[in-house]
Amino acid sequence: MIIPKLDTDVYGKVAQYWRPLHNNRVQCTLCPRLCNIPDGARGFCYVRENINGTLYLTSYGHAIGFNCDPIEKKPFYHFYPGSKIYSFGLIGCNMACMFCQNWHLTKYFPPVYEKRTYAPQDILYRAVKNDCIGLAFTYNEPITSAEWLAVLAHEAKEQGMKSVMVSNGYINPEARETLFKNIDAVNIDLKGFNDFFYQRLTHSHLQPVLDTLEWLVHETNIWVEITNLIIPSKNDSAAAIAQLTEYVATRLSPLIPIHFNAFHPDFKMMDLPKTPFETLEKARDIALKNGLNHVYIGNALSDESALAKQTYCATCGEVLIRRSQFDTVDVLLKDGHCPNCGAVLNGLFN
């Protein structure tokens, strides 16, 4: 296999989204933070560095945390269920979630990571060798390495493979089209539904995330699913869940699968309890009453949660996809239709 040479120098790769300022400062324009970065410093995400008045993406060509996963683990429940996806992280994040469950990749940067570089074909070869349908950009926030991710997704498409993202959706409009051009599916982590929550617990803002979601759903052909981590006393009230699910049903689409995940104490929020299963059940009930067709519960291993992992026909209630934990056991569709009533199940299936 011919491995293409990476277009990098000792600093990485010149970033695409930035503009020069006075006194050798630069402004990154990738995400709504618009970091004003002095010479020799890095932006909030840590991987975009100003070297002599030029912004470099230091993470270009790097990757960490390789793993072959069930697609359901991302989670994607309506995107080639039962398939495997080759997952890895890209280091860095443009939010600062106090509840981050991958903080060791978003806030801690192992020195060994910057000593290893990969060409796209290196990573694609690993995916093929592991019988995966493509690549999953996950674990950290992929947006922060947008230029590198776009190259990987392009090469994957050239090889007839899929690319999926698990993302916070915090990106400026000018960068969206290039970044998502060759992405097949994205799961957006909609962390809450008020700006106070976003400011206090993620050090970011809600509206840019909603803008990204609406653009993805209404202006692209990318398959979209949504995850909401329910945190006790922070975003778990019936009113908060109702507001979020009403938005998804009316402003996005009732066909979008939504995953309510249980919080487990981590990073800077070790003082809170894990999410009770009853809260997850309440969230699912509210979402269904608000018109969402496919509502799932994740990060909960109780017997009761098994019922909320199955995919049901929204028309007749027939089980269409059976799952056990992260594995799809049986896909009962007939050419994408319910075998009982003939209704279409929205998604992408083998």
Q: Has residue 106 got a pLDDT over 90? A: no
Give the model's pLDDT for residue 2: 39
Q: Has residue 350 got a pLDDT over 90? A: no
pLDDT in tens, 279-312: 999 999 999 999 999 999 998 876 567 889 999 9
Contact 165, 222 (CB under 8 A): no
Give the model's pLDDT for residue 345: 98
* C-alpha separations of 201 from 47, 180, 197, 289 in Å: 22, 27, 6, 28
For residue 224 the two structure tokens come to: 């979209």
| CATH for the 64-303 domain, from 3.40.50.980, 3.40.710.10, 3.40.190.10, 3.20.20.70 | 3.20.20.70
Binding-site residue positions: 93, 97, 100
Query: What does the alpha-carbon distance between residue 246 and residue 288 come to, in Å, rounded to a whole number?
Result: 10
Residues present in the chain in total = 350
Mean pLDDT of 148-157: 97
Give the model's pLDDT for residue 1: 35
Binding-site residue positions for [4Fe-4S] cluster: 93, 97, 100
Mean pLDDT of 229-250: 98
Contact 217, 254 (CB under 8 A): no
- Domain borders along the chain are 13-57, 64-303
Give the model's pLDDT for residue 4: 45
Query: What does the alpha-carbon distance between residue 309 and residue 57 come to, in Å, rounded to a whole number?
Result: 39
Query: What does the alpha-carbon distance between residue 67 and residue 212 come to, in Å, rounded to a whole number?
Result: 28
For residue 217 the two structure tokens come to: 């759903």
pLDDT bucket at 12, cuts 50 / 70 / 90: confident
Give the model's pLDDT for residue 131: 98
| 3-class DSSP assignment, residue 96 | coil
pLDDT bucket at 102, cuts 50 / 70 / 90: confident
Query: What does the alpha-carbon distance between residue 121 and residue 124 come to, in Å, rounded to a whole number?
Result: 5
Handedness of CA 191, 197, 202, 206 (dihedral sign): positive
Mean pLDDT of 1-22: 75
Give the model's pLDDT for residue 346: 97
Query: What does the alpha-carbon distance between residue 221 and residue 215 come to, in Å, rounded to a whole number?
Result: 10
Mean pLDDT of 68-95: 95
* C-alpha separations of 113 from 61, 127, 305 in Å: 10, 20, 37
Query: What does the alpha-carbon distance between residue 105 and residue 90 come to, in Å, rounded to a whole number?
Result: 8
